[in-house]
């Protein structure tokens, strides 16, 4: 779970920093960015419903892993965009995408035994780029570091003058 918390902190940090430039990006959209950071980990539903069970049910080859790639994440973002009102779709789409992208980029730095990440840009390419191997998904220190930065960003945000956004 430190991995999921780290993704939430990273999305929070970037969304809050962008909100200092764009007044329309308020707390609601920061929350949407954090939700977007969880999208690729929807693939962990495989812990509850195995790929083989879904394959047997639909009588086709199936894997939840596709959600943890750019293509699967984009599909989930599109589903999220359809669920909001038409006036909010463009902004929600961008913010959800940014949160999901922050997750995929952070996961590209995970330490893997074979030295390569997973195919991030699937279905465009199956190429798995080399990873610098900065941390394991079970390491706690990335959550501590990003949590500390998130607290700093929160403190800075509280001290900045507030602007109101009107359309």
pLDDT for the residue numbered 162: 76
Domain count, the chain: 1
% of the chain exceeding 90 in pLDDT? 83
**Tokens standing for 119?**
């195919």
Place of tokens 């669920």: 83
DSSP structure string for 133-163: --B-TT-SHHHHHHHHHHHHHHHHHHHSPP-
166 within some domain: no
> Helix or strand or coil: residue 116?
strand
CB 112 within 8 A of CB 133: yes
167 within some domain: no
59 within some domain: yes
165 within some domain: no
Containing structural domain, residue 70: 2-159
CB 22 within 8 A of CB 48: no
Q: Write the pLDDT tens digit of every residue in 61-89.
A: 999 999 999 999 999 999 999 999 999 99
Beta strands in the chain (DSSP E): none
Q: Is pLDDT above 90 for 35?
A: yes
107 within some domain: yes
Burial level of 63, CB count in 10 A (0-12/13-18/19+)? Answer: middle
Confidence of residue 159 (pLDDT cuts 50, 70, 90): very high
50 within some domain: yes
55 within some domain: yes
**At 23, phi and psi to the nearest 5?**
-65, -30
CB 129 within 8 A of CB 112: no
């Amino acid at each position: 779970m430190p991995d999921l918390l780290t993704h939430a902190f990273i999305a929070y940090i970037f969304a809050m920093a962008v909100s200092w430039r764009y007044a329309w990006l308020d707390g609601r959209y920061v929350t949407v960015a954090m939700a977007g950071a969880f999208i690729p980990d929807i693939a962990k539903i495989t812990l509850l419903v195995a790929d083989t069970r879904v394959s047997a049910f639909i009588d086709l080859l199936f894997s939840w892993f596709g959600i943890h790639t750019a293509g699967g994440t984009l599909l989930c973002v599109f589903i999220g965009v359809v669920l909001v009102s038409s006036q909010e779709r463009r902004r929600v789409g961008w913010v959800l995408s940014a949160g999901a992208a922050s997750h995929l980029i952070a996961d590209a730095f995970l330490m893997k035994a074979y030295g390569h990440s997973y195919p991030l840009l699937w279905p465009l390419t199956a190429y798995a780029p080399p990873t610098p191997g900065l941390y394991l998904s079970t390491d706690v220190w990335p959550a501590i570091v990003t949590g500390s930065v998130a607290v700093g960003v929160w403190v800075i945000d509280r001290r900045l003058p507030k602007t109101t956004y009107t359309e």
